[in-house]
Amino acid sequence: MKKHNFSAGPSILPQEVLQKSAEAILDFNGMGLSLIEISHRSKDFVEVINEARATVKRLMNLSDEYDVLFLQGGASLQFAMVPFNLLKLGGKAAYTDTGVWASGAIKEAKKLGTVDIIASSKEDNYTYIPKDYTVGTEYDYFHCTSNNTIYGTQIKDFPAVDSLMVCDMSSDIFSRELDFSKFDLIYAGAQKNMGPAGATLVVVKKEILGKTGRDIPSYLNYQLHVDKESMLNTPPVFSIYASLLTLQWLENNGGIAAAEKRNKAKAELLYNEIDRNPLFKGFCNVEDRSLMNVSFQLTEESMKEKFDNAWKSAGISGLNGHRTTGGYRASLYNALPIESVQVLVEVMKSL
């Protein structure tokens, strides 16, 4: 039976990416060697990482003011790397608290300096995105999380700021058109919308680095990674290769603009059924609903066993909600076809 993969991460990847990645594991570029055996400094892999970095810049329409890094440690390591590189000694940073991962970023930044939480939806269980706030000029940088996988909320309009703008885009990167030049630093774990776990994408404006006065541990220093072109240490070669294939798939299928159109169609189809069907209700405020992660609940818990059996029998996988919210979560990442959403909607209608 064909599986419909709604997992929040590690997430669905395009079938052609899985096929090419599997072939590369056995024989990469006809070398008679596996991708995961060859030197990361070989001509064959250097071409991979350089093309991956270039494809990111093309998709985001960014100039050479920016550098693209493929690192490790996921977004969780970026929670510490950002303040190490951008928070000056004695300085302050502004954060919004919109979910578990935003809260994790705040926790790490507080270890290095003063953090002001200028807006939060924590008291309402993160069911909305705060909007009525301003970012003062006294901050070294402003940090936000664009999409909250657990709660199904997403920033629709980013604030105008006079400080540096930093964004964790782990779960919605490349899913919608944005003016990426508004951001000074973007980071994202690959495993939600770009590739398999193991690589972390960082897009950084080069001129902002080296100004904190800190003695930064080598691996946590963005400038050293820039200088070494993401080769400061052995990179996660398989994850980067699969990410390149996914980026090429995206580019060959109309780029970000076309992906956004597909993602809006998928989200509209599912949200319409949630709103129409009295057995279901959405988790968050309608105006803040995510295109990537649809969190919802049953209105009658007595229907849980029947619904669970129905979606599992239909070949649906990864629909259970996060442990902090319960209920259900359907992740509609770029590679998920609308046909999978149609299957889920038909199951919901059949109850």
Using the Cα atoms of residue 1, residue 345, residue 196 and residue 20 in order, give the sign of their dihedral. Answer: positive
Short-list 199, 237, 232, CA closest to 217: 232
Work out the angle between the directed axes of helices 237-252 and 43-60 (0-180°, nearest 10).
Answer: 40
Instruction: Tell me the three state secondary structure of residue 152.
Output: coil
β-strand pairing of 280-282 with 293-298: antiparallel
Q: How many CA atoms lie within 13 A of 326 on its CB side?
A: 7
Distance CA 189, CA 347 (A): 32
Alpha carbons 241 and 51: distance in angstroms, whole number: 10
Q: How far is CA 74 from CA 51, 168, 243, in A?
A: 21, 11, 14
Letter string b/e over residues 206-216, b meaning 16 or more CB atoms within 10 A of that residue's CB: eebbeebebeb
The CA-atom distances, in angstroms, between 8 and each of 151, 179, 191 are 11, 25, 9
**Stretch (H or E) spanning 165:** strand 164-168
Kindly state the tokens that stand for 252: 């060959």
Residues annotated as catalytic (active site), given as ranges? 101, 168, 192
- Paired tokens of 247: 């980026």
Cα 219 to Cα 217: distance, rounded to the nearest angstrom: 6
Residue 344 exposure: Cα atoms within 13 Å on the Cβ side: 31
Residue 119, φ and ψ in degrees, nearest 5: -160, 140
